Amino acid sequence: MALLQGRFIDNIGRVYTLYTGGFLAFILLMAILEQFGVGADTIGILFVAFTIGIYALIGWLSRTMEVDAYYVAGRQVPAVYNGMATAADWMSGASFVALAGGVYFGGYGYMAFIVGWTGGYVLVNSLMAPYLRKFGCYTVPDFIGTRYGGNLARLCAVIVLVVASFTYVTAQINATGTIAARALHIPFSWGVWFGLLGILLCSMLGGMRAVTWTQVAQYIVLIVAYLVPVIWMSNVQGFGLIPHFTYGDAASTMAQLEAQFGLNPPAEAIPGLSVLTTPHTGPVGDYAEWRFITLALVMMCGTASLPHILMRYFTTPTVRAARKSVAWSLLFIFLLYFTAPALATLTKLQLLDPSLPTAIIGKPFEEVASLAWIQNWASVGFLAIADQNGDGILQLNEFFMRPDIVVLATPEIAGLPYVISGLVAAGGMAAAMSTADGLLLAIANALSHDLYYKMIDPKADTAVRLVVARILLLGIGALAALIASLQLTGILGAVAWAFCFAASGLFFPLCLGVWWKRANRAGAVAGMAAGFTAGTLYLYYVYTGGTPWFGLDHLRFGIVGMAVSLVSMVVVTLLTPAPDEEIQRMVEETRVPTGPSILSDQH
């Protein structure tokens, strides 16, 4: 044990090298057990149980009763590891589980998510992260409340944070329920509670410190799980070991096959499941280019407004480390996002290409219905086939699948060993849990620090504050699991709503709070309240059947909210007195990349 002498932070590289080696050894062990006849169900359970057990152990070992450690991990996280933790925090169930499914069924238009979510980190790096770290706050409402002054601005920020983060966390618990339902063969409604238990084990005792080191471990699992099936399929299909630069040929082949089989909608839809009705390449429909641009834009601005992402940069030792951390985050995120379109394309080819043994389109209906993976996913309600024209042949528009399961089902679709399915399930669980950890912590910390400590009981001691934070974590998590179990919307849709809520209420108050020293309290309150309200009302309008304005559907309501927020904030600021000289000097000092934080460590 000489390798691990001294503080954990001094041995972090060795610790995670050992962890990665141990995880790869576990995969090899599962592969050996599969060869010796151990059942697929057992392997799936072992994968999920092993990884969640490791995360829970990290959470237990990271427990703390120190405010600074609980809220910002003691501001000791090195840039590269914070980049990994941020990537895990960012690459949620939507990124891992649902994004490739969106591209699979929706084609070109869903690439806007990838453009927006990666491009958003340019805004985070240039407009937000280093400056919020220099400010020295614990939470995003902490910055809003201190920068603009007064409890009303802080309360508005807390409201927007809670709504956006809660919407997002229900999507993550939905993802954990989907994975648990398949891997453990339990009902979806039970799966969400199983997922919540794992999430709380990681975050409740150690706060941000526990979440940070858990997320580093989760990133390693999820990126290995995402890359392995894609590389395997690419090699089998003849596109090489690195498909990212060659899958254009696969897309061309797929477009020809789609045209051959036809893309007509089915005669009778199946609730909750999707059928391929749009081509994989090229913009289609009214406002196609505009819809792509607006979706990418609102995802970018939402990225730069999401509190659980911004608070990750509060954990670095310095402002410079925060900036480097963003660059590392983007690199680690790029590895998955660059792979998602390739995964969607190669998986679809596995079903369409008659030269591959896994193809099912055009095959006899009874033959397809007897396949084990079809039966397994159909048994939990995530897939269906229906011979609607009665010809006994499975047509392209007679294959229905829940988009959220494309990645999870890929190993079985491609005929890979079940150990790869177990690995992918563990990766999906890691992605959903890591983001849910960060979101629940963002909500609980904002309510305990900004609402309870700053507004209700400023004299509360450390123990009381942390007890309140943990109680809130439990209560919010339970409510999110209850909502997720209702399956009100798909994973990707719920995530898009969260980004739109955050962009509507927080983007301009945060951005102008750093870059416009004239911005004042009245303007910030007006921007948050008017933008958030306008966006929410527009969402209600389009979601209840209203005709979208200029193609701005329910995934893009943040465009309306942001426009109202900007106009309201600028107009009200210019009509009311400027902030005092102390506030303006504080804003100027925030933009200086060196020197101590504006706020003290125990504020």
Measured CA to CA, the distance from residue 86 to residue 219 in angstroms comes to 9
Q: Report the alpha-carbon distance of residue 153 to residue 510 in Å, rounded.
A: 12
Evaluate if residue 514 carries a pLDDT over 60.
yes
- Tell me the β-bridge partners of 274: 401
The pLDDT of residue 476 is 85
Q: Give me the mean pLDDT over the 413-425 stretch.
A: 87
Q: Average the pLDDT over each of 32-41, 110-119, 365-374, 448-457 and give the range with the smallest value.
A: 448-457
Q: Does position 266 have pLDDT exceeding 70, yes or no?
A: no
Q: How far apart are CA 372 and CA 386, in angstroms?
A: 17
Number of H helices, E strands in the chain: 26, 2
State the Cα–Cα distance between residues 402 and 400, nearest whole angstrom. 7
- State the Cα–Cα distance between residues 300 and 126, nearest whole angstrom: 13
- What is the amino acid identity at position 453? Y
**Per-residue confidence (pLDDT) for residue 1, from 0 to 100:** 40
When comparing pLDDT for 56 and 225, which is higher? 225
The predicted structure's pLDDT at residue 379: 81
Cα distance between residue 202 and residue 597, in whole Å:
29
> 102: how many CB neighbours lie within 10 A of its CB?
27
367 contact partners, CB below 8 Å, separation of at least 6: none
- Is 603's pLDDT higher than 70? no
Residue 185 has pLDDT above 70, yes or no: yes
* Pairwise CA distance, residues 435 & 91, whole Å: 7
Q: Is the pTM of this model over 0.85?
A: no
Q: How many CA atoms lie within 13 A of 103 on its CB side?
A: 26
**Residue 550, Cβ neighbours under 10 Å: how many?**
12
Token pair, residue 367, equals: 């033959």
What average pLDDT score do residues 145-162 get?
90
E strands, 66-182, are: none
| Count of Cβ atoms closer than 10 Å to residue 518 Cβ | 13
Higher pLDDT, 188 or 213: 213
Question: Is the model's pLDDT at 534 over the cut of 90?
Answer: yes
pLDDT at 137: 79
- Quick one: average pLDDT of 67-88? 84
pLDDT, tens digit (0-9, with 9 covering 90-100), for 280-325: 555 455 667 888 899 999 999 999 998 888 888 888 888 888 888 8
- Taking only the tens place, the pLDDT of each residue in 228-259 is 989 888 888 888 777 777 777 777 887 787 77
Q: What is the CA radius of gyration of the chain?
A: 24
Helix H segments across 185-206?
188-203
Q: Determine the pLDDT at residue 2.
A: 45
Residue 222 to residues 48, 215, 311, 429: CA-CA distances in angstroms? 12, 10, 22, 8
- SS3 state of residue 421: helix
Q: Report the pLDDT value the prediction gives residue 322, as an integer from 0 to 100.
A: 84
CA 375, CA 362: separation in Å to the nearest integer?
18
Query: How many whole angstroms separate alpha carbon 526 and alpha carbon 523?
Result: 5
> What average pLDDT does the segment 428-453 reach?
80
Give the CA count within 13 Å in the CB-facing half-sphere of 350.
Answer: 25
Say which residue the tokens 């501001």 belong to: 75
Contact 291, 550 (CB under 8 A): no
Distance CA 448, CA 354 (A): 58
Candidates 234, 210, 182; CA nearest to 434 is 210
Please give the C-alpha separations between residue 573 and each of 286, 365, 524, 578, 589, in angstroms, as whole numbers: 38, 66, 8, 7, 21
Which band of pLDDT confidence, cut at 50, 70 and 90, is reported for residue 13? Answer: confident
Residue type, 411: P
448, 53 Cβ separation under 8 angstroms = no
- Predicted confidence band at 528 (pLDDT cuts at 50, 70, 90)? very high
The pLDDT-based confidence of 32 (bands split at 50, 70, 90) is very high
The rounded mean pLDDT for the chain is: 83
Place of tokens 């709380």: 200
Is the confidence at residue 183, as pLDDT, over 50?
yes
What proportion of the chain, given as a percentage, has pLDDT over 90? 18
Confidence grade of residue 515 (pLDDT, cut at 50, 70, 90): very high
- pLDDT tens, position by position, 97-128: 767 777 777 666 777 888 888 888 888 888 88
CA nearest neighbour of 150 among 572, 444, 524: 524
Residue 228, number of CB atoms within 10 A of its CB: 18
* Residues in the chain, overall count: 603
The answer, yes or no, to whether residue 597 has pLDDT greater than 80, is no
Nearest to 207 by CA among 299, 71, 112, 80: 71
pLDDT at residue 184 greater than cutoff 60? yes
How far, in Å, CA of 201 to CA of 213, rounded? 13
pLDDT of amino acid 300:
93
Instruction: Measure the CA–CA gap between 174 and 195, rounded to whole angstroms.
Output: 9
Q: Supply the pLDDT for residue 571.
A: 97
Which of 531, 499, 453 has the alpha carbon at shortest distance from 139? 453
Q: Is the pLDDT of residue 130 over 50?
A: yes
Query: Cα separation of 211 and 61, whole Å?
Result: 11
Contact of 160 with 502, CB cutoff 8 Å? yes
Most confident of 191-200, 311-320, 358-367: 358-367
